[in-house]
Amino acid sequence: MESLNRGLAHLEKKRYDLAVAEFSKALEADPQLPSAYEKRAFAYLIMEQFKPAAADLKKAIALDPKNSAPYYFHLGFAFFKIDEKKDSEQSFLRAKDLDKDIVEKWVGMLEKTADPNIKKVYVETILSASQYLDISSRVVARAKEMGKEISGGQESFFTTFLAGGYFPIFLLLSGGILLLAGVLYLVRRKGKTLPPKRTPTPRAAAVRAATPVECVKVARTDRDGGLRETAIVGNYQIVEKIASGGMANIYKAVHINQGGFAVLKIPYEQFLNDPKFVDRFRREAELGRKLYNENIINIYESATTEEGVTYIAMEYLEGTDLRRYLNKHGKVAIPDALKILTRVCRALDYAHIKGVIHRDIKPENIMLPHDLDRGRIVLMDFGVAHATYMCTVATRTTFIGTPYYMSPDQLSGEEVDARSDVYSLGVVFFE
């Protein structure tokens, strides 16, 4: 029961990834807990992971059929979102058969909750159910109205914080955090010096999203090889090689049919013999494609060609990263800093709701347009990011991220959550 209670506490505090982890622990201890399946499913619904939510709700129904009306109602929503419309209809109808007041109860919970993420689930569930159930137009209109309030008026914690005029305090606190992180890191290193920081080349700045530190330690390799210019990789033609990372070459390419530019990340050949690396590489692309936000880099596709070339294709960005901007200008004006910080906070807020922890927030991973008033400010390099189901704990012998910006938990190899990203962001903006 302790894991179940911890999961509920995390759910209340909007730490949905940790809530899923605790509910999973509860189910490992007792696989016959329908409430744990239902709560984990609800966290999945908030994170918009509808297939695992549906699987958990089916298990809850099988374990507790007498009290399954709310499970069926949630299940109808999950099926609706994964386009299983027939199953969605049957689930909503079954919920109504079991509890004739199920819609009214949902409306009551919608009115009572203050959490916008939970409200969003309730609103979308009611609107989905209205496709199959006889729900009054008044209830549907109220749900739509509340949906607009959520989407139009919801501000992230970070944005609210900045709007309150606390930015100078934020900078001072960040300075203290930075000092503490440095002391902890030096103590753990026991006198060893840090490797020199590398400033990316102008070309590499546009594709920092493709040069992550992976979840395993590997030897660096010769970077002189690679594909020749004009080579064909899937639907893309190589234009030029623009960077080399620890595990992959980075190319600028053009789509053969559509004509637009893209960035291709192609691993070094020796890593393709490691099934774990290949699986991790593909999951990186899968995770990236789930994050649809204007302040997060877009991942187009991941594939392996008939010739055996594995690649990830992603958005090609014009501009410069925050590191190069700092090197050139020395500092960022406060109005511009607020603008950048707000956009990065929006990206992180979105990722955290999705259950994704970035784990490598640093100036190199924040892409700035040439004109801050017009272009997109983009958070890049989710290569070391992981959802709960991928990799929540780093080993104590492997750094995941960049030591200069790590939180104390991350430095010591402990389990990290969204707060670690907030810490790293504080370090970045103190700098």
Fold assignment, 202-315: Phosphorylase Kinase; domain 1 (3.30.200)
Look at residue 57 in the predicted model and tell me its pLDDT.
94
Look at residue 336 in the predicted model and tell me its pLDDT.
92
Please give the span between the terminal C-alpha atoms of the chain, in angstroms, as a whole number: 44
| pLDDT bracket for residue 59 (50, 70, 90) | very high
Look at residue 343 in the predicted model and tell me its pLDDT.
92
**Tens digits of residue pLDDT in 372-392:** 888 889 998 775 555 543 333
Arithmetic mean of pLDDT, 259-266: 88
Look at residue 201 in the predicted model and tell me its pLDDT.
41
- ∠ CA 226-227-231, nearest 5°, is 175
Q: Where does residue 234 fall: left (phi above 0), alpha (psi -120 to 50 degrees), or beta otherwise?
A: left
Q: Which residue has the tokens 């997060």?
A: 296
**Tens digits of residue pLDDT in 86-98:** 999 999 999 999 9
> Comparing 64-78, 132-146, 362-376, 402-416, which segment has the lowest mean pLDDT?
402-416
Count CB atoms within 10 A of the CB of residue 416. 26
Q: Which of 154-168, 202-216, 272-286, 340-354 has the highest mean pLDDT?
A: 340-354
Q: What is the mean pLDDT of the chain?
A: 78
Task: Give all strands of the β-sheet with 366-368 in edge-to-edge order.
Answer: 320-321, 366-368, 378-379
Look at residue 298 in the predicted model and tell me its pLDDT.
85
User: 272 or 219, which is more confident?
Assistant: 272
Look at residue 172 in the predicted model and tell me its pLDDT.
60
Cα-Cα-Cα-Cα dihedral sign, residues 95, 99, 101, 102? negative
Look at residue 4 in the predicted model and tell me its pLDDT.
86
Residue 245 predicted with pLDDT over 80: no
Is residue 358 within 8 A of residue 379, CB to CB? The reply is yes
**Tens digits of residue pLDDT in 287-302:** 777 787 888 888 888 8
Q: Which residue from 357, 254, 343 is spatially nearest to 293, judged by alpha carbons?
A: 343
Residue 138 predicted with pLDDT over 90: no
Q: What CATH number has the domain spanning 157-198+319-430? A: 1.10.510.10
What residue segments make up the domains of the chain, in order of their start? 2-151, 157-198+319-430, 202-315
Is residue 360 within 8 A of residue 209, CB to CB? The reply is no
Secondary structure letter of residue 379 according to DSSP: E
Is residue 45 within 8 A of residue 76, CB to CB? The reply is no
Q: Which residue from 310, 320, 301, 309 is spatially nearest to 378, judged by alpha carbons?
A: 320
Arithmetic mean of pLDDT, 45-70: 91
Look at residue 61 in the predicted model and tell me its pLDDT.
94
Arithmetic mean of pLDDT, 332-361: 89
DSSP annotation string for 22-39:
HHHHHHHH-TT-HHHHHH
**Tens digits of residue pLDDT in 312-336:** 898 888 888 899 899 988 888 999 9
The superfamily in CATH containing domain 2-151 is Tetratricopeptide repeat domain (1.25.40.10)
Threshold 0.75, pTM exceeds:
no
Is residue 206 within 8 A of residue 364, CB to CB? The reply is no
In the chain, the percentage of residues whose pLDDT exceeds 70 is 76
Burial of 39 (0-12, 13-18, 19+ CB in 10 A): buried
User: 264 or 154, which is more confident?
Assistant: 264
In the chain, the percentage of residues whose pLDDT exceeds 90 is 23
Structure tokens at 379: 């958070």
Look at residue 366 in the predicted model and tell me its pLDDT.
93
